[in-house]
Amino acid sequence: MSVKVRYFAWVRERIGKPEEEILPPASVTTVGGLMDWLAGRGEEYAYAFENRNVIRAAIDRAHARPDTAIKDAREIAFFPPMTGG
Amino acid sequence: MIPTVRLQREPFDAAAETALLTRGRSDIGALVTFTGICRGDEAGEPIAALTLEHFPGMAEAEIERHVADAKERWPLTGVTVIHRHGRIEPGDGIVLVVTASSHREAAFAAAEFLMDFLKTRAPFWKQVERADGTSWIEAKKTDDAAADRWTRTAARREAAE
């Protein structure tokens, strides 16, 4: 099932695009699994996800954890720790 | 009480926002206004500006979630949160949090609670612009610790009940 992914701040800069539609294999079931799969897509992805522990994620605009299931997600976002306020 | 939550590129007027919140009201005994301002230096180096990137849709949703949480924790009679995005120069406001209540304790605590969560949970990212290029500001551990203490108070409260 295809899903929209969005990237923000330096994750976006490293990957070189703000969003894309992806089609991960059925074996990818969690946010963390998706990061592993994305990291294998090329140098720019490997660079963006080199330190996976710091990358935050959101599913359908709500914070998600590495073990959150991505089943039924319409949109998954990856970004660095937030620095607003 | 209907809170005001707004994201905007334009500058805000803190005095006008508090006047709007308090106009015609006699139930407000305490009003706390916090304004976060762009400093002219970062890590000891002068900066030209900050550019704030945000995640439209999620940023509003996340702020509204925390405003709702604040309303459950304290007897608030008014809340305004305005967060800017885009390029902001030193001296200009970045974020405005206004909290109103009958008494000061709730207003002070809710303003601090909202700021702690804006810093760590609202999807905004600050990029520093210097004469020689740009860089992303790194999240501070002290900000995480500040947000964590509210989770700890909630856990303590639940344990006590």
Give residue A42's domain range.
3-66
Question: Residue B35, class by beta-carbon neighbours within 10 Å (0-12 exposed, 13-18 middle, 19+ buried)?
Answer: middle
Could you tell me if the ipTM is greater than 0.90? yes
Q: With beta carbons less than 8 A apart as the criterion, state whether B119 and A80 touch.
A: no
User: What CATH code is assigned to B4-160?
Assistant: 3.90.1170.40
Q: Does B154 touch chain A (CB under 8 A)?
A: no
Hey, which residues does B76 pair with through a beta bridge? B101
Quick: pLDDT tens for A38-68: 999 999 999 999 999 999 999 999 999 999 9
**Residues near B134 by Cβ (< 8 Å), separated by ≥ 6?**
B51, B127, B128
Q: Which two tokens stand for residue B6?
A: 């707004």
pLDDT at A38: 98
Cβ contacts from A onto B, under 8 A: 72
CB contact under 8 A, B118 and A79: no
pLDDT at B141: 86
Q: With beta carbons less than 8 A apart as the criterion, state whether B17 and B6 touch.
A: no
Of B39, B15, B60, nearest in space to B137 by CA: B39
Residue of B nearest to A59 (CA): B58
Does the reported pTM lie above 0.90? yes
Pairing state of beta strands A75-79 and A62-64? unpaired
Quick: pLDDT tens for B65-112: 999 999 999 999 999 999 999 999 999 999 999 999 999 999 999 999
**Residues near B132 by Cβ (< 8 Å), separated by ≥ 6?**
none
Q: Which two tokens stand for residue A54?
A: 């710091």
pLDDT at B82: 98
Which residues, given as ranges, of chain B have pLDDT below 70? 155-161
CA distance B94 to B3: 19
pLDDT at B14: 97
Mean pLDDT in chain A? 97
Residue A72 lies in a domain: no
The minimal CB distance from B55 to the residues A77, A83, A85 is found for A77
Q: With beta carbons less than 8 A apart as the criterion, state whether B98 and B20 touch.
A: no
Residue A84 lies in a domain: no
pLDDT at B43: 86
pLDDT at B151: 83
**Is the alpha carbon torsion for B52, B57, B62, B68 positive or negative?**
positive
Residues of A with CB under 8 A from a CB of B: 6, 8-10, 58, 61-63, 77, 79-85
Residue of B nearest to A58 (CA): B58
Q: Does B145 touch chain A (CB under 8 A)?
A: no
Q: Is the pLDDT higher at B35 or at A2?
A: B35
Q: Give me the number of domains chain A comprises.
A: 1
The minimal CB distance from A10 to the residues B120, B122, B136 is found for B136
Q: Which B residues, 6 through 45, put their C-beta within 8 Å of a C-beta on chain A?
A: 36
Q: Is the pLDDT higher at B2 or at A37?
A: A37
